[in-house]
Structure 1
Amino acid sequence: MKRVRITLRPTGAYAPPIYELLAGDADYLEQTHIVNWNVATPPTTFLLWLRGDYRRFGDVLETHETVHDYEILPLSARECHCFFQGEVATAARALFKNFTQGSLMTVPPIECNDDGSNTFTLIGSDTDIQAAVDGVPDGVSVTVDAVGGAGVAPERVLDRLAPRQREAIKIALERGYYDAPRRATIDEIAEELECATATAAEHLQKGESVVIAALFDG
């Protein structure tokens, strides 16, 4: 059996509106994970873990036309589990199912990144993993981030960062953003990332949140 760490970036019909909120469009959510899911038959059901102003997300679910049912289960003032059930396009459901064929198992959680991508661990035979990667449709980019390892969860803090968070922090380190005194500004980081200043600041803030939270794991 092989363990791989994969990042997908769905677009169009492969990225339902609710997913887009989880993966960057809702700036009030700092981190979002898909903890579990059932895409076998419509309607599709998800269990999410959210960090941020999750009550605003609940307000969206209350009125969203694709949502059949939902429940917010608070864990703290800034964290919750969220169950919801709703309609998901056939293309998006097929994308999920692609990673459940044969010997394959997707290890929760699926981490929704703020650049629209998602990252997860996949376990299975070499043949089935290769078939799943090859089976990703043209409308979805796929990257194999890591292969192998002793466990099934990310072993390094670096592996917990979304690709753009990792890139932003790497550039910030190289440019001296974290030096005292600072040798770079957020505007300079944004210029190298080729994005807006607010976007660069968001990548750094969310990435730093992951790193700090990892220091206290366990």
Structure 2
Amino acid sequence: MRAITFVVTPPKSHPAYQMFDEESQFTRERIYNLNVLEDGTMVLLGRVRGDLEQIRLVVEAQLDTLGFSISGTDGDGGLVYIHVHPPTEIKRFLELPREHEVFFDFPVEGTRDGKLRFVMIGETNEVLQQALADMPETMDFTIERISAYSDESGAVLAVLTDRQRDVLDVALELNYYDAPRQATHHDIAEQLGLSVGTVTEHLQKIEASVFGAFR
């Protein structure tokens, strides 16, 4: 099996993009599932970080929202289910697996600047390239890598908490695990607004979980 990892920029003309752009107070952490229904509408289940009441007000204001529910126990985010009329290019994009022998790997990660990182899986590079060739022309995407598909990374991430994933994302973004190391615990802490001690504790737990998953 082969996989293409690419980052998609949602259409800026759509209100949902402004909700998660670089200047937004909300963060789209990950999408657990996306599905286009027979009537052409779309349902989405994902996790967002931010004030849930403010998220509720923004979702309610979207003219294309048909229904939604938000669940969470604190003011730091929660699960969001939304039923909407999707933009044409998004609908076309999500229908690619119906027309090609490919799959999307879930969950889909949200990046810190409001984009979405997808992994598309197929039997061969040719099948994946054919699917990408049918991407809507208005869809802005950047390919990050083409590689053999392995589900080991998903299994490892599944044992991490949401906060540990945040710390790991920033550590990777700052090249903390490069040799030689390009960042310190202080750099990661500054980026996340955490104390150095908290970041150190999280990294220790992350590394223990990752190493333990491969025993």
Which band: TM-score by shorter chain? 0.5 to 0.7
8 Å Cα contact 1:75-1:81 kept in structure 2 = no
Among 43, 66, 69, the residue aligned to 2:67: 69
Moved more, 115-124 or 141-150: 141-150
8 Å Cα contact 2:35-2:42 kept in structure 1 = yes
Post-superposition offset of 1:117: 2.1
Partner of 2:127: 128
Uncovered stretches (5+) of structure 2, i.e. residues with no partner: 158-164
AA at the equivalent of 1:178 = T
Q: Distance in 2 between matches of 1:23 and 1:212?
A: 27
Matched, 1:34 2:31: yes
Q: Distance in 2 between matches of 1:69 and 1:50?
A: 17
Among 50, 53, 78, the residue aligned to 1:52: 50
8 Å Cα contact 1:33-1:111 kept in structure 2 = yes
Matched, 1:141 2:141: yes
AA at the equivalent of 1:170 = N
**Residues 93/20 of structure 1: CA separation in 2 closer, same or farther (3 Å cut):** farther
Partner of 1:2: 2
Moved more, 138-147 or 118-127: 138-147
CA deviations 1:115-157 (Å, max 9, x no partner) are 2321122211223211122223443122133512432645788
Mapping 1:1-218, distance limit 5 Å: 1-12=1-12, 16-29=14-27, 31-40=28-37, 41-74=39-72, 76-126=74-124, 127-139=126-138, 140-151=140-151, 153-154=153-154, 169-170=174-175, 178=184, 204-205=191-192, 212=202, 215=206
The number of aligned residues is 188
Q: Distance in 2 between matches of 1:72 and 1:90?
A: 25
Q: Distance in 2 between matches of 1:165 and 1:136?
A: 30
8 Å Cα contact 2:65-2:82 kept in structure 1 = yes
Identity %: 15
8 Å Cα contact 2:89-2:136 kept in structure 1 = no
Local SS of the residue matching 1:170 = coil
CA deviations 1:63-117 (Å, max 9, x no partner) are 2222111101225552421111112221221122234432211111111213232
AA at the equivalent of 2:131 = A
8 Å Cα contact 1:4-1:122 kept in structure 2 = yes
**Residues 22/12 of structure 1: CA separation in 2 closer, same or farther (3 Å cut):** closer
Q: Distance in 1 between matches of 2:87 and 2:202?
A: 36
Moved more, 130-139 or 41-50: 130-139
AA at the equivalent of 1:6 = F
Q: Distance in 2 between matches of 1:23 and 1:111?
A: 15
CA deviations 1:9-66 (Å, max 9, x no partner) are 24345xx32244235453233x421111222433221111123323311111122222
8 Å Cα contact 1:4-1:123 kept in structure 2 = yes
Q: Distance in 2 between matches of 1:133 and 1:78?
A: 36
CA deviations 1:178-207 (Å, max 9, x no partner) are 37xx7x9xxxxxxxxxxxxxxxx7xx329x
- Give TM-score, length-normalised by structure 2: 0.67
RMSD of aligned residue pairs (Cα, Å): 3.8
**Residues 103/177 of structure 1: CA separation in 2 closer, same or farther (3 Å cut):** closer
